[in-house]
Structure 1
Amino acid sequence: MKAIISERYGQADSLTLREVVIPSLDRNQVLVKVHASSINFGNLVLLTGKPLPARLAFGLLKPKYSIPGGDVAGIVEAVGENVTGFQIGDEVFGDLSTSGWGAFAQYTAANETSLALKPSNLTFAEAAAVPMAGATALQAIRDSGKLAAGMKVLLHGASGGVGTFAIQIAKVYGAEVTAVVSTRNTEMARALGADHVLDYQKENLENHEQTYDVIFGVNGAQPLSVYNRLLKENGQFIHVGGESSQMYQTLLKGSWLSMVGKKKYSTFLHRTKQEDLLFLKEQIEAGKIRPIIDREYSLQEVPKAIQYFEKGRSQGKVIISVFN
């Protein structure tokens, strides 16, 4: 089979397309013929080995996962002897980021618990846009933010993969959503359900007067002093992704602010949960959530796709099409 191989930390041009052996299965795994995958921030971390603390999980000197790719959508080709939830021919989608990665290939071996049946109303490309970004938004909103009906939430960086899901999931939980995006993304944010849209190219958040129960830093970076002013008395800021500088601010200055005041600051990392894939599937089939796709690239174009993703200007997800 063909697969993208990563042998050293570096940039996108260090990735190569090669012929490798189709992976064998252990008793709890499913062999998936990959139809599509997508690019996430985790792909950049696995590629570059930065921020450096990530190497504790990904390998100190070189990536220990030779085939990248976390999101997967495809068809079950074989199942391990202990697998009970899937059978050959099932259309599935899932998140491999905690079970060895490997989706940038024609076939991948996935843990049964990393997969769910694909939403019936999505194509493989659309389904591949959902797992990591959708679960990240869901877990940040439900588990860390504990959003409830009527709460006011600010989503800074709401036009990317996580942000487009965050708008919709926050609305599922009944929140009043303000999305911060660039000029070209204002109409998209409104179409996804945002109650209010701030164009950061026209309005400086330092002059914004509304306050919020929860602020999600989904992308980009603002001084924590800005977020601190925009938070209500017992509000919280949650760093979800984007620039490393925002993460370090949250870990260092945010921890201090959390100790001396009532406002809380935290950094969030998602974990693969099959029950969250099932929740997303249910909401998608009910028409409450939909993926937004910016561009599609072929498997051999993964380096080019990553270079585009790195610019941080994609509207929704960047898709890798493997078997069409």
Structure 2
Amino acid sequence: MIHPVIEKETFPLDNDQYYFAGSHGSELYLGNRKYPLSFTTVDTALTRKETVYLQPDRPSYPFRNISVKAVFPFYYVYDGTVPVILRGKIGSKRPLTVSFQDAYFHQLAVIDSATFALRTQSAETKNLLLAKLSLGERDVQLYPNILKKQIDGVFDMDGNLISDPGRLLAYIYAYRNEFIVTSPELEKIRQFNTIDTTHTAQIKITQLSDGRHQMQAPPVKVNNSSVLHRGLLFNQSLLRGRHESRNAWRNADVIDVYKTNSQFYVGSFYLYRKKGEKLNSFHITEKSFYALYGKQLVRYKVTGQISKYFEPGEAENPFKE
């Protein structure tokens, strides 16, 4: 284990449903599952907090699964079951609809203010796949060959779609030791492995009479949440390593760090749980690593053991020729 983060401050929160939506400069942005139309700003030194309640331009949307992301200067409110994407200027309470019924989706990653990567499902094969939505042309382009099927094309391809806007996208499989890195255009692809040894998803599937698939037994989940930052992938690993202490594993969450331009494992570190609470969400900025545990927001200082691997600060597409 390496020791790249040092705990600095803890900030109390009013509920345990917060998640990181983004950051910019001296501000962190949080969404909340309990109050899905709230948008919270916390300063990076963890001294003040402000929450605003967003007012969509069309309050009649049949929302079922709202999420919020922020990439300065905008925040995005979206629900792929409607499907709708709204965009607002950070500081404004009134997000406006920029996409309505263009594409149904499960996950969204921001490429730029008018382009989004989506994880959706093929109408023909029912397999999960990635897509790109361009607002200017109202065009949805499908990329069915990026995600690789092993068993059923749904559960075995489950995972997290994340972005480092202006640089790259990544998709981390939940049930196998693989992650994919792509250019923002989803056209150039690199495939890497995590240090876990689960090459094939350990899942058992039953096909129902209506054609849908159902998980037959609890799956072996390998990877949980992940974050991209300046050429590094931070991944929350869920399986104990061969040489890891059982006691540490019971009391801490493990973050593995990988480079995104080559098959290179930087190292792993423990985040010891606060009051028995597991890690809910995490985020990284230039100098700090932030974690949410229950009703607590914790800041850690990032040391040179990690920051020396950061790519240059200016957002630049590493796939550019």
TM-score (norm 1): 0.27
Structure number with higher helix proportion = 1
Which structure has more strand as a fraction of its residues?
2
Q: Which has the higher contact order (CA 8 A, sep 6+)?
A: 1
TM-score under structure 2 normalisation? 0.27
